Amino acid sequence: MKILLIEDDPHKAESLLGHIACHYANASVRSAASFQTGIRTALSDWHDIILCDMSLPTYDIKGIDSGYEMITYAGRLILTELKAKGKATPVVIVTQYTTFSEMWGTKHLAEVNEELHAEFSDTYLGAIFYCASEDSWKSELISIIDRICIQES
Amino acid sequence: MVKQIHSSNNTRSSHQEMSSLHSTKRIASIIERRLFQNREDPLPVATRLKHGLTFQQLEDIIARLRNPHTLARLFNRPIVKDYADLHHRAPNSEPTSDWLKEAAWHCLASTTYSTQIAHFLKKRVELSNFLLLGDYHKASQALDSIEQECGPSLYTLQRRFLLAHLDGGITANRSLLNSLQSSAANPVLLGISKFVSVRAEFENPAVYYEAYVRRGLGEIAQTWGLQLREYIAQYAHPLLLTPPPNPSFVLWFSNGSTIVDRYLLTIRAFRSKLASYSTVEERSQIRTLIASLSLKIQDPDLENLLALLTGAPPKSLATEAQKVYIRALDAYVAGDYISAATQGMHLLRLMPTCFHLYELVAKSCLYSGTRTPELGTTDSMANQTLGELNQFYSGRGILMGQNQLLRKIGSVLGETHLGYNLFLLSTNSQKIPQLNQTSLLSELHSTLLNPKMALGLEPHDRDTVLDWFQLAYPDSASSQFYRLKHSRKLKQNKQLKGLDYFRWRLHLAEELIAEDKCKAAQRILEKVIELLPHNDVRWHRHVLNAYSLLYDCALAMQRTLDALQAIVSAFFFHEESVTRFDLASMNLQTRTFSSEDAKHICVPIARFLALDRFSLKKGSPSDLARQSHAVYLIVDDFLAAHKCERPSDLIEVILSAPEYFEPPQSLNYFLDELCCLVVLSKAHRYASTTDELESERIKLCSFLLKVSSRNAESLKSELSAISKRRLARTVRAQVDMSRIAVNDEVLRAASLAVHASTFARFLRFSKLAASDAIEVALPSELGLNPTATKPSSPQDDFSKRPSDLCLLDIVGSLVIAFTLDENYGLNSALSRSIRHGSFLGALRKPFEQERLVTRRPLKGAPYAANEFWIAQAFSSDASTEEIAELFSHFTSRLDDLVTRTCDNLLQVRIPLKATSLFSHEDSAILNPDGLFCYVGLDREIILEARDSETPISALEDIVDLTLVKLWERTDENLRRVRAYLDSSFKQAIMRSLDELLTRAQELLPTEAFAGLHRAVTRTRTQVQHEIAGICQWFTRKLAPQYVDVPLDSVLTATIDTINECSGNFLQSIQVESKVEAKVRGKFVTHMYDLLFILLSNIVEHSASSWGTAEASVSMSFNEDHCTIIVENNCYGSNSITDVVKHANELIASSALSLRDARQGQEGNTGLAKVVKILRIDLKQPLPTILARRVGENRFRISVEIDSHEVFAA
């Protein structure tokens, strides 16, 4: 199984990778740490599933490059781009935010989730709330990946 | 006029459908424009629409008019439910006025299939008939029916008052008003109330009239806005707004509105029904109406008024003549044409100027000759009448058809004064006789020869006018006409332009579009747009109209690309004009474009405009991001059409195929607005780093600056900003973040000086022991008994070898100096640069920013309560103490973690250093040999030296070897520390944050917890960055690198970057005679480092002598901040490269810049004092810096030392 993980927080990425490795020994996970790297990787190769953070820096934070600007709804843009390019890779949003605060207002994760379901009904599998101190995200993640495995088999 | 398309054939071709679609769209567009932009009377539009349109086309028009945009304008306010609902409407408009409603009706009535509208119109006529006939009961029923079906309106309200007054008089009127007032506290009704009360109170007609006009009507008009005034002017009575002509008129008026209303209704009914009713019954009704009117109106002035309103000249008509006139009308209405003609002819003899009578007589004669059976007996009379009529016409010099000719002349002259007059005159026949040939010729002369009046007339237009004039006046071969026709001045004025010309041309183009002559219209419009002065505000409306028509034209011709060009051009002319166009539909059509059409630059721009730009400006960042992504897709499609990889590739295409990039502004707009950084950053193919992204943008900006001067300032400013950011990044990259500095050069020099004699002894002992060594070595080399000959341990071996003891002295002292030297040793760096304050301060910063941690008032005292989160949790069930304890506990854990790390890990371990204060357990976990543990290293070095194939022959050899080994071990330990910080340490912090959240969820209310969660999430990210920065501290400090840029640029970039970071952008700093800068405010540590190092660069590497450089930097210091002043005599050169060259010489001569002696001597006023205070005395605190302008080109930078940790430590 080929999984693409688009996550800029190494702590969270490590936690996700560890959990996936525990459950899927044969899973091959590629990582990307920014919106652009994520999009490029997602478009250049085939993946069974994409696990994607909602808020990402534009470019990889490397050396003196601070990654340009933080895109609050990068996950949504990735879904849009995949749809525009005809890629039907399933996408799961894994986020640490329950709300997305902006200067103009706040959107709750549930609200964003509904919007994404409506807009990308074919590829969007759902949003998982990640909290390092809780375990509920683990079962949700496994459940979604299992579903993909069953569909493929 | 639109061609009628018959729908007899059910299977219409797609072309026909498309044509129909365009036609109906165009008509809908015309309706909208006329109704809502030009504020024109909708009736002519509606009338025109009734002709030549199929049912399907009408349906389509109605459907289009019912789209949200049109309906929003057309039915801006829905029909109100009751009169009370009027109160909720905006007072500055007239929601239910007849004007608006009738506009809508006329529009909707353009289809005869609108049963609702037709029904209303029928009911309205019925109501007016009942009112006229005095059947108030039925009138009331009709009014109820209208109100029920269409809702109350001004019209129904007026009728309601009228009906009440007619039926029950003023008392009933007032009671109706009271009942309405009680049901609706409405300012409009209040105005009407005043009107009624004024009417009742003032018996003096003159006072009443004035009061009515100025108070009642005025207040209503003021309340209801201009539209009501227009309405009253149009429908109620134009004369009400003019002073009363005489007392009798006032008297008549003061009788109340009954007569007025009935009179007006009668006149209107008379006019409409006279033209359309043809049956005997209908004629009878008309006769009744007229009789009723005649009975009511006895006043001669009123008769004059009647005559005026019915089209007859009023004042010149005597009472007798009026009676004859009315009899003639009666006869005409009754169908007695012979009588009508006779009466009319009689009257004509009395009133030869009453042209209206000629029409009546002529028609009567005509009808009597064709429709009546009595023709045979009346032929002679008819002939006589016609003969007389013709004679009259001839006598007046007016020929049949002259009207048409004058009308044509008027249309050609367009909206010139004469043209307008002619147009009016030709449609208002009774005034024609007032304009005779001479006066007309005189006006024509002045019009054609006056540049102001004849602006824009084409030469052939003038010829046509003159030809027609000659035709209209066959006897016009006067000298005046001849002069006019052959005027040289007339022939010279060929290129005149002006507002009238353009208005006329636009009108002509509109007519041509309506007649499907779109190509001709397009040519006219293109010329108009070319000639119209675009920079004059007075012409804007016409320019925009021209673009709108051009758009209509293109749509009618099914040329979408041309339509897009019209949209884009209109947009460049006036941004808000895009609301005129159906951009969404255009956007859809671009998807079907051929690859050739898609290459045109107006395609992406129009698609961009089709995005909802208002939400782009006002919407949320998510909308903005989505929009910028959508814009990127548009740009990408355009690049794909040109087979370009990235926007800068377009530059070649632009140069090779400029035809795709018209109009010229579009290229600027595309590259400037669509290819901006926000959009480019969404493209995964254009760039993969920020540098690449900015390079791409720089290419575009540079190109735009080359090819156009538009937005030059803005582009330069953008380029400057990008350059500054890049420079700041580059400079920042040069900043050595390391805090591990051991001045091994000093140590080496000192060691060489101190241990020369010891090494000499070593050499002597080595020579003496050489033979023993050989003896000892031989059995080992031969392999006879290695265990017996080899020392069991180095310690045992050292005690037996004096030479080794000499080396041990040298190496051991160097290890001690390397690790423990107070000023240059490793422990000193770890202590003052990291352990004491800096580490904790840097790590605490992200937590403090989110107010997650608090401070201790005194060392060892409890932490202060976290008032912020206690306040956030005011609605919580948890007690204040619990909340305070939650955050105190978290703070304590964080501080303990840092303290433990500093105490247990970041300590140098050698035998001489006391270990009782520290626990090395954690250190041993990270490194089994102990972190920063140098115990036994000296002996290892000696063993290695002894076993080396190359014997130690010089003191430098052993010193260098020792330093290499010391750095090897140090580097390895630094690597382990970095790894520890990046893993276990960071995870421990993350666990603390998780625990904080878990506990907080139980204590804090939902809202506060959501806020805390966001704060923790932000902190998590920031802490990672901070730890990454701290990891950089644990690297060996290398020789400084400097940026080869002019000093003023460095200063500018530094100050700008500092201020951007602190959110307070500052203008660029100019290095002139003196730079005095004061920095105050909070920002990240490396920014401070950047500034400090740059200032150091300036001073240390200046072309001046060190003493001068020291004196050039001075400092004032108080409790809060120190001010560093740098004078320019410390940097005589403008380039760092130059100063570095001089600096190398300076460094070579002075060896070190931070000698104790130098500090002591010069450290009171210059840079050394700054260095001493910041780096040694204050042990590198975290300063806060802000630059403030203190005068032109003068800045004050203050370094605020506010890190409590420094003093706490």
Looking at chain B, the whole-number percentage of residues with pLDDT higher than 90 is: 0
How confident is the model at residue B379, as a pLDDT? 41
DSSP string for residues in B883-898: HHHHHHHHHHHHHHHH
- The whole-angstrom separation of Cα B260 and Cα B29 is 39
Question: What's the pLDDT tens digit per position in B697-746?
Answer: 888 888 888 877 777 888 887 887 777 677 666 655 555 567 787 777 77
Question: What's the pLDDT tens digit per position in B24-48?
Answer: 556 666 655 554 444 444 444 444 4
Alpha helices in B1128-1188 (DSSP H): 1136-1150, 1156-1162, 1167-1171
Verify whether the Cβ–Cβ distance A73 to B625 is below 8 Å: yes
Integer distance in angstroms from the first to the last C-alpha of chain A?
11
pLDDT (average), residues B579-605: 76
- The whole-angstrom separation of Cα B601 and Cα B1039 is 53
CA B1113 from chain centre, in angstroms, equals: 48
- The whole-angstrom separation of Cα B644 and Cα B9 is 49
Verify whether the Cβ–Cβ distance B629 to A81 is below 8 Å: yes
pLDDT (average), residues B278-292: 50
Residue in this structure with the two tokens 């969820």, named with its chain if needed: B1001
CB within 8 Å of chain A, chain B residues 1078-1137: none
Verify whether the Cβ–Cβ distance A59 to B633 is below 8 Å: no
Which SS3 state, helix, strand or coil, does residue B1151 take?
coil
Q: Is B1014 on the interface with A (CB under 8 A)?
A: yes
For residue A40, the chain B residues in CB contact (below 8 A) are: 684, 688
pLDDT at A4 over 90: yes
Verify whether the Cβ–Cβ distance B621 to A76 is below 8 Å: no
CA dihedral (B423, B425, B426, B429) in degrees, to 10, reads 160
pLDDT (average), residues B347-368: 56
For residue B1007, the chain A residues in CB contact (below 8 A) are: none
Give the lowest-confidence range in B299-303, B423-427, B513-517, B925-929.
B299-303
Give the lowest-confidence range in B248-262, B442-456, B953-967.
B248-262
How confident is the model at residue A91, as a pLDDT? 94
H-helix or E-strand containing B876?
none
For residue A63, the chain B residues in CB contact (below 8 A) are: 733
Give the lowest-confidence range in A124-133, B461-470, B701-710, B970-979.
B461-470
Higher pLDDT, B899 or B1196: B899
What are the beta bridge partners of residue A106? A101
- Between strands A2-6 and A49-52, the pairing is parallel
pLDDT at B382 over 90: no
- The whole-angstrom separation of Cα B392 and Cα B529 is 49
DSSP string for residues in A9-46: -HHHHHHHHHHHHHH-TT-EEEEE-SHHHHHHHHHHS-
Verify whether the Cβ–Cβ distance A11 to B1024 is below 8 Å: yes
pLDDT at B160 over 80: no
For residue B997, the chain A residues in CB contact (below 8 A) are: 131, 133
pLDDT (average), residues B599-604: 85
pLDDT at B388 over 50: no
Is the link from the previous residue into B862 a cis peptide, with omega within 30 of 0? no
What interface predicted TM-score (ipTM) does this complex get? 0.88
- The whole-angstrom separation of Cα B1099 and Cα B1143 is 9
Of B733, B987, B995, the CB nearest to A64: B733
Q: Is B690 on the interface with A (CB under 8 A)?
A: yes
Question: What's the pLDDT tens digit per position in A15-54?
Answer: 899 899 888 888 889 999 999 999 999 998 889 999 999 8
| Token representation of residue B649 | 């590739």
Highest mean pLDDT among B103-112, B380-389, B715-724 belongs to B715-724
For residue B633, the chain A residues in CB contact (below 8 A) are: 84
How confident is the model at residue B553, as a pLDDT? 84
How confident is the model at residue B795, as a pLDDT? 47
Which phi and psi (to 5°) does residue A65 adopt? -80, 115
How confident is the model at residue B732, as a pLDDT? 59
Verify whether the Cβ–Cβ distance B626 to A67 is below 8 Å: no
Per-residue pLDDT band at B908 (split at 50, 70, 90): confident
- The whole-angstrom separation of Cα A122 and Cα B836 is 57
pLDDT at B671 over 90: no
- The whole-angstrom separation of Cα B920 and Cα B936 is 16
Q: Beta-carbon neighbour count of residue B1005 at 10 Å? A: 15
B690 Cα to chain A: minimum distance (Å): 6
- Chain A's closest residue to B634, CA to CA, is A84
How confident is the model at residue B845, as a pLDDT? 81
CB B803 within 8 A of CB B816: no
- For A50, A51, A91, B736, the CA distances from A145, given in Å and listed in that order, are 10, 10, 10, 45
CA B843 from chain centre, in angstroms, equals: 41
How confident is the model at residue B470, as a pLDDT? 58
Per DSSP, B1117 falls in state E
Of B620, B689, B986, the CB nearest to A11: B986
- The whole-angstrom separation of Cα B542 and Cα B1032 is 66
Of B633, B689, B998, the CB nearest to A59: B689
- Chain B's closest residue to A8, CA to CA, is B1021
Alpha helices in B151-186 (DSSP H): 154-183
Q: Is A9 on the interface with B (CB under 8 A)?
A: yes
How confident is the model at residue B1126, as a pLDDT? 47
- The whole-angstrom separation of Cα B344 and Cα B348 is 6
CB A4 within 8 A of CB A42: yes
- The whole-angstrom separation of Cα B711 and Cα B719 is 12
- Chain A's closest residue to B985, CA to CA, is A11
How confident is the model at residue B482, as a pLDDT? 59
Q: Is A103 on the interface with B (CB under 8 A)?
A: yes
CB B650 within 8 A of CB B657: no
Which SS3 state, helix, strand or coil, does residue A91 take?
strand
For residue B1013, the chain A residues in CB contact (below 8 A) are: 97-98
Contacts of B44 (CB under 8 A, 6+ apart): none
- Chain B's closest residue to A66, CA to CA, is B690
Q: Is A110 on the interface with B (CB under 8 A)?
A: no
pLDDT at B538 over 50: yes
How confident is the model at residue B172, as a pLDDT? 63
**What's the full length of chain B, in residues?**
1209
Question: What's the pLDDT tens digit per position in A47-81?
Answer: 999 999 988 888 988 777 778 877 878 898 899 88
Per DSSP, B85 falls in state G
- The whole-angstrom separation of Cα B1028 and Cα B982 is 7
pLDDT at B240 over 50: no
Contacts of B237 (CB under 8 A, 6+ apart): B260, B264
Highest mean pLDDT among B4-8, B432-436, B899-903 belongs to B899-903
A57 Cα to chain B: minimum distance (Å): 10
pLDDT at B126 over 60: yes
Of B619, B986, B997, the CB nearest to A133: B997
CA B994 from chain centre, in angstroms, equals: 42
In 3D, which of B769, B835, B777 has the Cα closest to residue B805? B769
For residue B1012, the chain A residues in CB contact (below 8 A) are: none
A31 Cα to chain B: minimum distance (Å): 16
pLDDT at B1127 over 90: no
For residue A10, the chain B residues in CB contact (below 8 A) are: 1024
How confident is the model at residue A32, as a pLDDT? 93
Is the link from the previous residue into A10 a cis peptide, with omega within 30 of 0? no
- The whole-angstrom separation of Cα B1126 and Cα B392 is 105
Q: Is A137 on the interface with B (CB under 8 A)?
A: no
- The whole-angstrom separation of Cα B1203 and Cα B630 is 47
Per-residue pLDDT band at B660 (split at 50, 70, 90): confident
Give the lowest-confidence range in A92-106, B573-587, B1062-1076.
B1062-1076
Verify whether the Cβ–Cβ distance B688 to A59 is below 8 Å: yes
CB B622 within 8 A of CB B681: no
CB B232 within 8 A of CB B240: yes
Q: What is the maximal distance between C-alpha atoms in chain A?
A: 45
pLDDT at B999 over 80: yes
- The whole-angstrom separation of Cα B557 and Cα B549 is 12
Q: Is A96 on the interface with B (CB under 8 A)?
A: yes
Question: What's the pLDDT tens digit per position in B824-879?
Answer: 788 877 877 787 767 887 788 889 888 899 887 777 788 888 888 888 877 777 77
Verify whether the Cβ–Cβ distance A68 to B688 is below 8 Å: no
Of B986, B995, B1024, the CB nearest to A133: B995
pLDDT at B796 over 60: no
In 3D, which of B659, B674, B632 has the Cα closest to residue B561? B659
Mean pLDDT for all residues in chain B: 60
Which SS3 state, helix, strand or coil, does residue A102 take?
strand
Per-residue pLDDT band at A148 (split at 50, 70, 90): confident
